[in-house]
């Protein structure tokens, strides 16, 4: 896989050494067991896969190269390039301005832009309508486009099955930038609908089967379907694709459920005619990170810590997986570890932050599981490890272990 030039400020010598050693020992990535950092009274288990993915490193490299080669020009990002506070803060410090917030609300009027300005497309991609608006100004969008190749893969797969007459069902968060972009590209070729979760899928299944009237479709899915979507005809042939950062198991469950509905209505022999095979739209990094967390959770532990931006979909799902097994804290950096007795935790569902007291276990030894989202720098992971080690008074043990990893 391609090597990207990512700023050293995001790299960690300790984490890089651990990842490189695991890679050497497991070139085919078949071993999903976590890495143990045995610090005596503190044992930290790191997930086999975590941190920056291909798409994120690609986006950061393009953004940094763009800034360096266009000194003196105004540089804009459509919105947060990735959902990570450290990376976005760095870009703002370098003079980059955001045109929209994460919900698509305009922060800087497009009318104030000129053809001399540079606009970077974030890793989530953007809508066809936005591309047209920028092109109309004279801004070349493709030159500074950091859209993740795996997001584009979903767009391409949607276009392929639309040519065969399938409508597109997107499993995604309706307000997420990536979902909005994928919806735009899919809807340009085919009737398209967004399904947020299994509850939505069940409602859709009842409409497909005829258990609920077509009128229910328009009220229940208001704002989530493409123009001129006709449930009577457009739900006869469907294919399910996903916002690449959703839980793979959720996407699979939704797809399996709708497949069952289709089989019941049309018969097993007609399945391929009415239901497209879209298993190849799952992002490799999302899948690897979630699989690694499932293996991580097999380790008996006291708490789990997940690091990532509060708006990061893939990070939130890692928290969701961990919370099903044990007490889990979601933080975006070491500064959220106020002291050994209090922590600022993010609720992954509503993004609210609260102070949690007595979050660190007192029994010895203490076992903590750790992972991070695909847009979280390894430096954040290292800083959190060092801070926790300091709280448990095992910093010397960490230094000794680090000397063995970094040769």
Domain limit, last residue, from 282, 313, 332: 282
Model confidence at 280: pLDDT above 70: no
Q: Is residue 314 part of a domain?
A: yes
> Is 278 found in the same domain as 234?
yes
Q: What is the mean pLDDT of the chain?
A: 94
> Is 46 found in the same domain as 83?
no
Q: pLDDT tens-digit profile of 153-166? A: 999 999 999 999 99
> Is 131 found in the same domain as 234?
no
Handedness of CA 134, 135, 137, 143 (dihedral sign): positive
Q: pLDDT tens-digit profile of 51-91? A: 998 989 999 999 999 999 999 999 999 998 888 999 999 99
Q: Is residue 291 part of a domain?
A: yes
CATH of the domain at 27: 3.40.1010.20
**Phi–psi pair at 184, nearest 5 degrees:** -60, -45
Domain limit, last residue, from 253, 282, 311: 282
> Is 317 found in the same domain as 364?
yes
> Is 345 found in the same domain as 230?
no
Q: What angle do CA 304, 308, 314 make, to 5 degrees?
A: 90
Q: Is residue 340 part of a domain?
A: yes
Of residues 198 and 279, more confidently modeled: 198
Cis peptide preceding 365, ω within 30 of 0: yes
> Is 308 found in the same domain as 251?
no
pLDDT band (50, 70, 90) for residue 244: confident
> Is 205 found in the same domain as 107?
no
Q: Is residue 3 part of a domain?
A: no
Strand order in the sheet with 366-372: 35-38, 42-46, 366-372, 303-307, 328-331
pLDDT band (50, 70, 90) for residue 96: very high
Q: pLDDT tens-digit profile of 167-187? A: 999 999 999 999 999 999 999
In Å, what is the CA distance from 129 to each residue of 26, 184, 226? 44, 8, 14
Tokens of 262: 């289709």
> Is 213 found in the same domain as 320?
no
> Is 336 found in the same domain as 291?
yes
> Is 358 found in the same domain as 257?
no
Model confidence at 394: pLDDT above 70: yes
Beta bridge partners of 35: 46
> Is 347 found in the same domain as 300?
yes
Cβ-based neighbour number of residue 378 at 10 Å? 22
* Whole-angstrom distance, CA of residue 319 vs CA of residue 296: 12
Task: Name the residue among 326, 243, 237 with its Cα closest to residue 277.
Answer: 237
Question: Are 85 and 332 contacting, i.e. CB atoms less than 8 angstroms apart?
Answer: yes
Task: Name the residue among 95, 90, 98, 89 with its Cα closest to residue 119.
Answer: 98
* Whole-angstrom distance, CA of residue 20 vs CA of residue 292: 16
CATH of the domain at 83: 3.40.50.11270
As a whole number, mean pLDDT of residues 218-228 equals: 97
Q: Considering its fold, how many domains does the chain have in total?
A: 3
Question: Are 259 and 239 contacting, i.e. CB atoms less than 8 angstroms apart?
Answer: no
Percent of the chain with pLDDT over 90: 84
Residue 78: give the domain boundaries: 54-144
As a whole number, mean pLDDT of residues 38-48 equals: 97
Q: Is residue 2 part of a domain?
A: no
Domain limit, last residue, from 86, 120, 144: 144
Task: Name the residue among 176, 186, 61, 183 with its Cα closest to residue 120.
Answer: 61
List, by residue number, the catalytic residues.
Answer: 178
Q: Is residue 336 part of a domain?
A: yes
* Whole-angstrom distance, CA of residue 83 vs CA of residue 212: 38
Of residues 294 and 2, more confidently modeled: 294
Q: Is residue 241 part of a domain?
A: yes
> Is 269 found in the same domain as 185?
yes
Model confidence at 285: pLDDT above 90: no
pLDDT for position 190: 96
Q: pLDDT tens-digit profile of 301-343? A: 999 999 999 999 899 999 999 999 999 999 999 999 999 999 9
Q: Is residue 298 part of a domain?
A: yes
Model confidence at 93: pLDDT above 90: yes
């Amino acid at each position: 896989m391609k090597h990207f030039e990512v700023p050293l400020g995001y790299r960690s010598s300790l984490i890089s050494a651990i990842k490189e050693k695991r890679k050497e020992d497991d070139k085919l990535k078949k071993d999903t067991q976590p890495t143990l950092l045995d610090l005596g009274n503190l044992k930290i288990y790191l997930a086999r896969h975590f941190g920056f993915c291909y798409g994120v490193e690609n986006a950061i490299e393009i953004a940094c190269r763009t800034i360096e080669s266009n000194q003196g020009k105004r540089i804009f990002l459509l919105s947060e390039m990735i959902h990570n506070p450290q990376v976005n803060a760095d870009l703002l410090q370098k003079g980059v301005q955001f045109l929209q917030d994460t919900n698509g609300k305009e922060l800087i009027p497009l009318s104030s832009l000129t053809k001399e300005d540079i606009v970077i497309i974030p890793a989530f991609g953007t809508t066809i309508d936005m591309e047209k608006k920028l092109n109309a100004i004279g801004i070349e969008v493709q030159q500074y486009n950091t859209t993740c190749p795996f997001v584009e893969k979903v767009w391409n797969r949607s276009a392929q099955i639309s040519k065969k007459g399938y409508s597109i069902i997107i499993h995604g968060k309706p307000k997420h930038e990536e979902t909005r972009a994928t919806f735009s590209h899919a809807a340009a070729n085919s009737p398209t609908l967004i399904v947020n979760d299994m509850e939505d899928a069940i409602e859709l299944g009842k409409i497909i089967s005829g258990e609920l009237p077509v009128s229910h479709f328009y009220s229940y899915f208001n704002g989530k379907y493409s123009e001129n979507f006709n449930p009577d005809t457009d739900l006869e042939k469907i294919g399910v694709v996903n916002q690449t950062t959703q839980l793979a198991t959720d996407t699979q469950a939704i797809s399996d459920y709708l497949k069952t509905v289709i089989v019941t209505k049309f018969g097993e022999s007609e399945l391929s005619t009415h239901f497209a095979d879209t298993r190849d739209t799952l992002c490799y990094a999302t899948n690897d990170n979630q699989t690694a967390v499932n293996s991580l959770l097999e380790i008996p532990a006291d708490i789990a810590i997940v690091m990532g931006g509060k708006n990061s979909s893939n990070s939130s799902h890692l928290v969701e997986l961990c919370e099903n097994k044990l007490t889990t804290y979601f933080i975006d950096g070491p500064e959220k570890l106020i002291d050994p007795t209090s922590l600022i935790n993010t609720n992954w569902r509503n993004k609210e932050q609260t102070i949690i007291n007595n979050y660190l276990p007192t029994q010895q030894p203490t076992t903590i599981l750790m992972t991070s989202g695909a847009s979280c720098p390894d430096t954040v992971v290292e800083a959190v490890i060092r801070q926790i080690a300091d709280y448990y008074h095992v910093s010397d043990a960490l230094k000794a272990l680090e000397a063995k990893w970094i040769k």
